[in-house]
Amino acid sequence: MSSFEIISKTRVVEEGYDTSSTATQLEAGCYHRISHISDSTKTKMIFGLFVPSTYQKTNNNPIIYWLSGLTCDDTNFAMKAGVKAFETADKHGLAIVMPDTSPRPHGDESVDVPNVDSYDFGIGAGFYVNATQEPYSANYKMYDYVTKELPTLLENDLSLGKNGLKSIMGHSMGGHGSLTIALKEGKDCWKSVSAFAPICNATDCPWGHKAFEGYLGSVEAGKSHDASVLMAALENPIYDDILIDQGTADNFLEGQLKPDAIKKASEKSGQKVTLNMRNGFDHSYYFIAKFIDDHVNFHAKYLS
């Protein structure tokens, strides 16, 4: 029996249509929402998945992981930037997976996922770490979920991203996640990495302080999940280039995101970072939708 369930699927590109496919099958050229019971989070998890018109389960198909930001779930990227992202990915034969940002009950009130009344901590704000502090340590294992459990499911059950044929990108908290995961795991696991308006120096901003103190017990413990700290400590560059887009009108730019920190870390380690400061753009999905094809094209170079 399959380890996952397809909740819904929606055709988003014309090519790949198969009249013989059923509701329980992955279908080329479609965006799917898929649920499964997670060993990492001890909850049902739902992720979005676009598979290109060239998808065949008998092949090893390359995939990009998209990590969303604070308050988001598995649907935000697909609804607000998916049109351009999926069309561009289809041209390169790339899949895109969009995991949730935290565990959550999904309407099952018997599942006790700890939460607080705050947009920047708890449900919708897992920060892509493995929590060590109670009561969060039982469920908030988003690092393991994104780097181990979800890849295992996609690789073994759907032939997506095997042998390290995967890249990672994200926005804001998800940009933090994509940078730190790629820097910690390296090029054998992730062929390339990019980010939109990432939290670049999480140990030196309010969002990071709150997350690291609550999930890990201290800001000090968060240094192993700080993109600038990790990059500055590199003995040798890992990637040919890391692509970052940042809007100049982003209201979180100075207080939370701090791209200057990643620039300094890049200069110290020699790791190349292409930082595009986009005049007049803010922190929204309009910004992401405008430049998402640049990022998909960037990853396609390394996944071809």
Comparing C-alpha atoms, which of 40, 38, 22, 39 is closest to residue 30? Answer: 22
- Rounded to whole angstroms, the Cα distance separating 139 from 101 reads 12
CA atoms within 13 Å, Cβ hemisphere of 289: 12
Catalytic residue, chosen from 38, 172, 178, 192, is 172
Coil, strand or helix: which one is 135?
A: coil
- Rounded to whole angstroms, the Cα distance separating 46 from 118 reads 22
Distances (CA, A) of 27 to 16, 102, 111, 158, 186: 8, 27, 31, 11, 31
Q: How many CB atoms lie within 10 A of CB 49?
A: 24
Q: Catalytic: 21?
A: no
Q: Catalytic: 250?
A: yes
Catalytic residue, chosen from 176, 225, 283, 295, is 283
Catalytic residue, chosen from 250, 266, 295, 299, is 250
Q: Catalytic: 192?
A: no
- Rounded to whole angstroms, the Cα distance separating 78 from 88 reads 13
- Rounded to whole angstroms, the Cα distance separating 259 from 244 reads 9
Q: Is 24 exposed, middle or buried (0-12, 13-18, 19+ CB in 10 A)?
A: exposed
Q: Which residues are catalytic?
A: 172, 250, 283
